[in-house]
Structure 1
Amino acid sequence: MLAVLLAVSGAARAAEPFPAGLYKLDPLHSRIAWSVSHLGFSIYRGLIPSVQGSLRIDPADPAASRLNAYVAMAGLSSLDPALDTRLRGPQFFATGRYPVAAYHADGLTMTGPHTARLDGTLTLVGVTHRLAMNVRFERAGRDPVTGKLTLGFEGTATLQRSRYGIVAYTPLVGNDVALELEAEFVLQ
């Protein structure tokens, strides 16, 4: 996602230029953190580590970039096994029926030299809505371990869970769910 920013941001943050092509999301170095208000007393946080996807990018035309990401919702973790069971159940994510959430980005608008807005759709529990993501380029370069060309980024988005039909415990548990994403893409 944020790798698209590199195309326009130039070498100021890039260790090396990168070619147009297909980049695969590195699932070992990509994750989604989520947070939601809990009774107004605190912010409850969790993690979804199971992310897969790809980015097609052309540095000469970053607006034409396309991102497809898939999240295995059974991997959702709050660090509380009892809560995880509830979150995977029918009141929330119904992972038995909807095991995968999908994000498909079809637009990119630069907002600064290293930042952009990624526009796309999120399908969650079988419901699809538009969702914008703010992204920031981190770096492009050869991974010193693998030697492969890698693009790094971080991103943020906020979704209203009620739009997806996830209304359990509202308004006690917040409707706005903040997402923080970190990802590395490797040239294929």
Structure 2
Amino acid sequence: MRIVSLAALLLAAPLLAQMPTTPPGSRNPAAVTAGTYAADPNHTLVTWTVDHMGFTPYTGIFGDVTGTLTLDPRNLAATKVDVTIPVSKVTTASSGLTAHLTRPAASGGKPDFFGADMTARFVSTRVVVAGQKATVTGDLTLNGVTRPVTLAAEFYGAGTAPAQMGGKANVGFHATATIRRSEFGLGFAVPIVSDAVKLDIAAGFMKQ
């Protein structure tokens, strides 16, 4: 095992030596460049939290997000976001619960927690900017139901990734929102498991 670990370290050493010594991302919004960006599926995470029986909060994660962001620093109100979230790839700290969240109910019925359509899509309709923060209103489609949702978003950082990681311009945001499961026809176990779902979103985009 030690020999394998040493070999892996030796192979990685040249790459590590070429990595920047400071983070390439900047909190300065001047680092943002105009254009169309693709969601970074490896670094865009939608974390959700529900109340479990009044005892504890419980958290899971959606990843592998795809979609686009179009923005121009000179006209931020015209920003457009269109992302798709694969609900079927939900992850929790419990393998048993993860399986429960994604398996159909008995006798071929609908799944307990999520509907037959195991994807979600958010398309922005309005962006109001105040400094480095923005209110992003859009349509969320989940379980075949489309309803308006508002995100409280904040600029996180921008810059150019190292050449070893693609060398593309990146931009990232942090956002929060709260939705109600029942409004999307997903009210299983309410109120034992809370209807309200808190969303905490880390959104990364790479310029195309």
- TM-score norm. by structure 1 comes to 0.87
Offset of residue 58 of structure 1: 1.6
Whose strand fraction is larger, Structure 1's or Structure 2's?
1
Per the alignment, residue 158 of structure 1 pairs with 178
* Contact 1:14/1:141, CA 8 A, preserved across alignment: no
Describe the superposition over 1:89-146 as per-residue Cα deviations: whole angstroms up to 9, x where unpaired: 322113xx30211000121112x32111100011001001000001110111111343
Per the alignment, residue 7 of structure 1 pairs with none
Describe the superposition over 1:63-90 as per-residue Cα deviations: whole angstroms up to 9, x where unpaired: 1111001011111012222222222232
Per the alignment, residue 177 of structure 1 pairs with 197
**Distance (Å, rounded) in 2 between the aligned partners of 1:114 and 1:180:** 18
Offset of residue 184 of structure 1: 1.2
Q: State whether structure 2 residue 147 is matched by structure 1 residue 129.
A: yes
**Match for residue 87 of structure 1 among 77, 95, 101:** 101
**Distance (Å, rounded) in 2 between the aligned partners of 1:132 and 1:146:** 32
**Distance (Å, rounded) in 1 between the aligned partners of 2:174 and 2:122:** 15
2:171 partner letter = L
* Contact 2:140/2:147, CA 8 A, preserved across alignment: yes
Q: State whether structure 2 residue 45 is matched by structure 1 residue 25.
A: no
**Match for residue 126 of structure 2 among 107, 113, 119:** 107
Residues 61 and 16 of structure 1, relative CA distance in 2, 3 Å threshold: closer
Post-superposition, which runs of at least 4 consecutive aligned residues in structure 1 deviate over 4 A? none
* Contact 1:27/1:50, CA 8 A, preserved across alignment: yes
118-127 or 140-149, which moves further after superposition? 140-149
Q: State whether structure 2 residue 117 is matched by structure 1 residue 98.
A: yes
* Contact 2:90/2:98, CA 8 A, preserved across alignment: yes
Count of residue correspondences: 174
Q: Which runs of 5+ in 2 are unaligned?
A: 1-25, 105-110
48-57 or 16-25, which moves further after superposition? 16-25
Q: Quick check: which has more Rg, 1 or 2?
A: 2
Identity over the aligned pairs, expressed in percent?
Answer: 32
**Distance (Å, rounded) in 2 between the aligned partners of 1:56 and 1:166:** 31
Per the alignment, residue 168 of structure 1 pairs with 188
- Higher relative contact order, chain-length normalized (CA < 8 Å, sep 6+): 1
Q: Which runs of 5+ in 1 are unaligned?
A: 1-11
1:23 partner letter = Y
Per the alignment, residue 40 of structure 1 pairs with 54
**Distance (Å, rounded) in 2 between the aligned partners of 1:57 and 1:108:** 11
Equivalent position SS for 1:169: coil
Per the alignment, residue 13 of structure 1 pairs with 27
